Amino acid sequence: MSELLAVFMQPVVLARWQQMLMLLPLCLAVSLVYKTTRCERLRDIPWAAFVSWVTIVIGMYVVGIALLVVYEVATHNY
């Protein structure tokens, strides 16, 4: 039990690229659940979930890059 508690008390340190990779399964899970509730036919779910997954991932990376640019511009003293 104490080993399980230690996992929550001391978070795992991940590199920046590892953090970005952790976004992929999260977006896939969200996409699958959303498309499962929206598609009328079972055979439509894999393709619809894939398209939704790609859209979410690209959108998240674009938003992240935009926020990084805004932060860099705002903190840079001219």
Q: In this structure, is residue 52 part of a structural domain?
A: yes
Q: In this structure, is residue 38 part of a structural domain?
A: yes
Question: What pLDDT is recorded for position 78?
Answer: 60
Q: In this structure, is residue 7 part of a structural domain?
A: no
Question: Closest Cα partner for 30 from 10, 52, 59, 5?
Answer: 52
Q: In this structure, is residue 5 part of a structural domain?
A: no
Q: In this structure, is residue 3 part of a structural domain?
A: no
- Measured CA to CA, the distance from residue 57 to residue 28 in angstroms comes to 9
Q: In this structure, is residue 1 part of a structural domain?
A: no
Domain range spanning residue 60? 14-75
Average pLDDT, consecutive stretches of 10 residues, N- to C-terminus, the chain (78 residues): 81 88 95 95 96 96 94 85
| Domain tally, the chain | 1
Q: Which helix (H) or strand (E) holds 78?
A: none
- Measured CA to CA, the distance from residue 6 to residue 78 in angstroms comes to 46
